[in-house]
Structure 1
């Protein structure tokens, strides 16, 4: 009987979403593979997994993830991280730019790890990255404090390109609480103000990439399709994680309530109203359920066919629900 109970407990432990995530996407040396994108790795994935490892109290995995990230992605010139690692390339980090959301996620995970496990080295590393983000990625533009998506290529002088899914409100709040620097609350205030303006088309939703002009107006950035899609789906996730009662969630709730749950299009072109020819599933559907407060559908059990990104959204939604 005792043996049977022990086996049952072991099976239950191994079937949680984090165990599934690790077995599918994490290499033995701590690299997260984007299975929907030729198994490349990026700071976003490393940061997501580091957050999960803290939440699931898995310090050994956290240390592997952080160790690999430092060894292969750290940019010694500016204290940030190369955004992409391609294991099939002769130079796996040919693009030396960073992705500010990845940097924030890594710093946030280190802050949480340092607090949870009483580790000053994690806290110091988080502080160093936070400082580098402020120095390299945060600017004031038309009175708004904004975080550019990367240190290179997004400030066009007459306008800046923003990615609203990089508005990591819960992380910025935690940085503000730990550092007492006003820049983080300024980012939150400006981010909320800008999001309120990013209600494009009949759907009234933000798009993946947005231009902020010198006169303060916003418009879909011309180099990308004007879609509320795989990037912008994270906007309501982070809003909920920051404040589950936020009125900024209302546009998403209104839009998704137009569809039955399993017939909700995966994306919409806000200019033409053309919708994806396929419906939400996996992590996308989990974000919808979270936003509509339909938490009965949520769990941290991953479907067998979910790729890296869907699985990431799925587990992050669970963390956002439980972190309230």
Structure 2
């Protein structure tokens, strides 16, 4: 009996280790970036919080079947970031400031991520309140952040400041195709499929320079032409890296991935520059690592490199990209 008990105990310990390993990415993320009150800290940016981080955290909580953390994240987000005037969310929270939400603007990707996570959570756990909250945010996004411009249906990066009349500023990394698809399935509103169609039409026009890649910020002119956004470096960089991530998440076989694949295959994996200036070809003096590398591997279908195991030196954004790339891969 002693030998039998020892054998059973060993099996239980092995299974426990296997389960801990499987959940390690999310567990590590929580321990490193999620406060007890439900706030995701951007450790690469003075520990501020923003709707992007809250949305990523909520999505990852749903994917990891962590209802308690999801509820904690959503409750904090509602309490501290909800804008009662328009149904959207203040995009940034500075914890040590006199007014932590001094900037009252929204960030549309954060709004979409929160609504998407609520939709997934409501469906997964049969919670009608979360479904209704998602529906309300979706309506606010359409009312305040989506416009028709130059023949395209586009989502502005925020509620204010991006419509310059003669042109609008877009952030292609806010083209959240898989979320828009799920919103369309939920609401049956054509605006979401219009956003997808316009986004797919616009991306080929954003293949700037010899690299043929989009920049982090883009101007869409009234005549329908596009150019790198004024006031930002003309780089395919830390924002635009999410374009292929969301494209893959939407359709792993999308031909829209080809320009990114073509660019990255020009470099050895461990020699891939973190960013490139599309106007002159100058490259980052350092190479991709962590989450950036995970998006590259996902895009090139080099999925053997993908993992949810985070390294000790990863900050919030790198860790988020890596876990999102893993989630996109597992969702196919």
Q: Same fold (TM over 0.5)?
A: yes
Equivalent in the alignment of 2:117: 109
Equivalent in the alignment of 1:232: 240
2:183 is the counterpart of 1:175:
yes
TM-score by length of 1: 0.98
Aligned counterpart for 1:95 among listed residues 95, 100, 103 = 103
Equivalent in the alignment of 2:171: 163
Aligned counterpart for 1:260 among listed residues 235, 257, 268 = 268
Aligned counterpart for 1:119 among listed residues 127, 137, 142 = 127
Q: CA deviation at 1:196?
A: 1.0
Cα distance in 2, alignment partners of residues 320 and 81 from structure 1: 25
Contact 1:14/1:20 (CA < 8 Å) preserved in 2?
no
2:331 is the counterpart of 1:323:
yes
Aligned counterpart for 2:296 among listed residues 247, 268, 288 = 288
Equivalent in the alignment of 2:31: 23
What stretches of structure 2 of length at least 5 have no aligned partner? 1-5
- Alignment partner of 1:211: what SS? strand
- Alignment partner of 2:227: what SS? strand
2:41 is the counterpart of 1:33:
yes
Aligned counterpart for 2:251 among listed residues 243, 246, 260 = 243
- Note the 1:273-284 alignment, pairs <5 A: 273-284=281-292
Cα distance in 2, alignment partners of residues 9 and 42 from structure 1: 37
TM-score by length of 2: 0.96
Cα distance in 2, alignment partners of residues 137 and 35 from structure 1: 28
Q: CA deviation at 1:5?
A: 4.0
Q: CA deviation at 1:151?
A: 0.6
- Note the 1:137-152 alignment, pairs <5 A: 137-152=145-160
- Alignment partner of 2:54: what SS? helix
- Alignment partner of 2:168: what SS? strand
Cα distance in 2, alignment partners of residues 304 and 62 from structure 1: 24
Q: CA deviation at 1:3?
A: 3.8
Aligned counterpart for 1:272 among listed residues 280, 294, 302 = 280
Aligned counterpart for 2:89 among listed residues 70, 81, 103 = 81
- Give the alignment's Cα RMSD to 1 decimal: 0.9
Aligned residues: 324
- Alignment partner of 2:158: what SS? coil
Q: CA deviation at 1:299?
A: 1.0
Contact 1:26/1:33 (CA < 8 Å) preserved in 2?
yes
Q: Which moved more, 1:2-11 or 1:49-58?
A: 2-11
- Alignment partner of 1:88: what SS? coil
Greater Rg over alpha carbons, structure: 2
2:301 is the counterpart of 1:314:
no
CA deviations over 1:234-288 (Å, ceiling 9, x no partner): 0000000000000000000000000000000000000010000000000000000
- Alignment partner of 1:21: what SS? helix
Q: CA deviation at 1:7?
A: 4.1
Equivalent in the alignment of 2:3: none
Cα distance in 2, alignment partners of residues 60 and 10 from structure 1: 21
Aligned structure 1 segments of 4 or more residues deviating by more than 3 angstroms:
1-15
Q: Which moved more, 1:3-12 or 1:213-222?
A: 3-12
Q: CA deviation at 1:304?
A: 1.2
CA deviations over 1:166-193 (Å, ceiling 9, x no partner): 0000000000011000000000000010
Q: CA deviation at 1:9?
A: 3.9
2:186 is the counterpart of 1:187:
no
Q: CA deviation at 1:8?
A: 4.1
Equivalent in the alignment of 1:50: 58
Q: CA deviation at 1:6?
A: 3.9
Q: CA deviation at 1:10?
A: 4.0
What stretches of structure 1 of length at least 5 have no aligned partner? none
